[in-house]
Amino acid sequence: MYLDGHSTTPLAPEAMEAMAPWWHAQVGNPHSPHLSGMLASQAVETARSELASLIGCDPQELVFTSGATEANNIAIRGIALAALEGGIGRRDIVVSAIEHKSVLSSASSLRSAGFRIIEAPVDVNGIIDISALERLVGIETLLVSVMAVNNEVGSIQPLADVVRIARAAGALVHVDAAQGAGKLPLDCAEFDLASLSSHKIYGPMGIGALFISSAASLRPLPVLFGGGQEAGVRPGTVPTPLVVGFGAAAKVSRTRLVADAAHSGRLSALFLEELRSRQVQFIENVSAPSRVPGSLSLRFPGNDAMSTIVKAGDRISISEGSACTSGQITASHVLLEMGFTYQEATETIRLYFSRYNSEADAIEAAAVLSAIVAR
């Protein structure tokens, strides 16, 4: 049983069906001028339009990438490069302390170019401290980067407040929306840049996108070099099958947005009820109103998370609240920034109930975990 939807989601049947002909029957480089190329190009643009409908933007404001990690790098490093080339003196980049590593690392890499990277703190629920953000963002701020939904604990960020603060200072706004798209209503018209991931919305792996607002005061420069594909921002042949699958997944996610949230929320609530009925001792790291429906970050005191995951591995797929870096297991930076101790962080597991999970899954998962942590 798969309950690790924050890592990746199952491929939607609609996406698989849409991609199928583009793997063998329909062959064509979407950048070629012949009929096969034009048909591929039409398919790519249809998918671009579907993705635009999901996040509320113009299709031409979307650039396809290999995933959200690349999109984050283009957004952050590309804007910094554009500022340097354009003689813009702002050198502060403000990020939340619990951003994905692709945001934190790409921002950190800019220190050698003279940028100051400022991390805004979060509260016990993993929500950015708005008062602190107001103090940290000022006339020297070039970019504010805050995720829509945290990838480890599911906390929903107050993006309207983030945008308000950034705009007041004349700073650009980047949102890592990889975990928010398809789970929450998103209006990217409020942002300057937003990163997206196909395999987080039931699409194929290996494809993502970067939203770049046509109204943004600065456009990111490319961080890779090659052809002039994707408006000159992301060179390389656009992979038609993956883009088509991404578009199909976006269409389904848009039409099922409300139903999926309700379904995932019901399953996570049922799972918690089942744990309580079995008198399992656990702690919810993030309160229900603060997290995206279906997401759970749970601590089982006295039970090492990795040991729990290994023991449950032949029955359920879940992940831990810690990250593997260079082969070494370390406590999650997200949980530590939220105020958890090292031990508490290593007792934490992460679950996400997707649209394809059932009530039977929730009940069985609770039974499996209760048998393990009670030993």
Q: Which of 5, 6, 15 minimizes the C-alpha distance to 253?
A: 15
Inside any domain, residue 6: no
* Domain edge (last residue) among 255, 278, 311: 255
Inside any domain, residue 4: no
Q: Quick one: 243 and 275 in the same domain?
A: no
Q: Quick one: 249 and 271 in the same domain?
A: no
Q: Quick one: 228 and 344 in the same domain?
A: no
3-class state of residue 328 by DSSP: strand
Supply the pLDDT for residue 333.
95
Total domains present in the chain: 2
* Domain edge (last residue) among 255, 271, 298: 255
Q: Quick one: 199 and 51 in the same domain?
A: yes
Task: Say if residues 223 and 113 touch (Cβ distance below 8 Å).
Answer: no
Supply the pLDDT for residue 230.
84
Supply the pLDDT for residue 202.
99
Distances (CA, A) of 16 to 43, 222, 225, 249: 15, 31, 31, 9
The burial class, CB within 10 Å (0-12 / 13-18 / 19+), for 79 is buried
The number of beta carbons lying within 10 Å of the beta carbon of residue 281 is 13
Rounded Cα gap, residues 128 and 28, in angstroms = 45
Rounded Cα gap, residues 133 and 119, in angstroms = 9
- Whole domain around residue 314: which residue ranges? 257-373
- The CATH number that applies at residue 267 is 3.90.1150.10
The number of beta carbons lying within 10 Å of the beta carbon of residue 341 is 11
Rounded Cα gap, residues 10 and 329, in angstroms = 26
Q: Quick one: 96 and 222 in the same domain?
A: yes
3-class state of residue 117 by DSSP: strand
Supply the pLDDT for residue 375.
57
Task: Say if residues 91 and 142 touch (Cβ distance below 8 Å).
Answer: yes
Q: Render 167-233 in DSSP notation, one character per residue.
A: HHHT-EEEEE-TTTBTTB---GGG-SEEEEEGGGTT--TT-EEEEE-TT-SS-PPPSS-SS-TGGGT
Q: Quick one: 219 and 347 in the same domain?
A: no
Task: Say if residues 186 and 40 touch (Cβ distance below 8 Å).
Answer: no
Q: 290: which 2 tokens?
A: 């603060």
Instruction: Enumerate the active-site residues.
Output: 324
Q: Quick one: 294 and 217 in the same domain?
A: no
The number of beta carbons lying within 10 Å of the beta carbon of residue 269 is 16
DSSP strands (E only) in 81-171: 92-96, 116-120, 141-145
Q: Quick one: 273 and 244 in the same domain?
A: no
Inside any domain, residue 192: yes
Inside any domain, residue 72: yes
Q: Which amino acid is at 280?
A: V
Inside any domain, residue 5: no
Inside any domain, residue 8: no
Q: Quick one: 139 and 238 in the same domain?
A: yes
* Domain edge (last residue) among 198, 228, 255: 255
Q: Quick one: 157 and 28 in the same domain?
A: yes
Q: What is the 3-class SS of 245-302, one letter each residue?
A: HHHHHHHHHHHCHHHHHHHHHHHHHHHHHHHHHCCCCCEECCCHHHECCCEEEEECCC
3-class state of residue 375 by DSSP: coil
Q: Which of 291, 336, 298 minimizes the C-alpha distance to 320?
A: 298
Q: Quick one: 120 and 174 in the same domain?
A: yes
Q: 68: which 2 tokens?
A: 């959200």
Rounded Cα gap, residues 253 and 365, in angstroms = 25
Supply the pLDDT for residue 334.
97
Task: Tell me the pLDDT of the chain (375 aa) as tens digits.
Answer: 999 999 999 999 999 999 999 999 888 889 989 998 899 999 999 999 999 999 999 999 999 999 999 999 999 999 999 999 999 999 999 999 999 999 999 999 999 999 999 999 999 999 999 999 999 999 999 999 999 999 999 999 999 999 999 999 999 999 999 999 999 999 999 999 999 999 999 999 999 999 999 999 999 999 988 888 887 799 899 999 999 999 999 999 999 999 999 999 999 999 999 999 999 999 999 999 999 999 999 999 999 999 999 999 899 999 986 555 445 568 899 999 999 999 999 999 999 999 999 999 999 999 999 999 975
Q: Quick one: 247 and 341 in the same domain?
A: no
Supply the pLDDT for residue 227.
83
- The CATH number that applies at residue 122 is 3.40.640.10
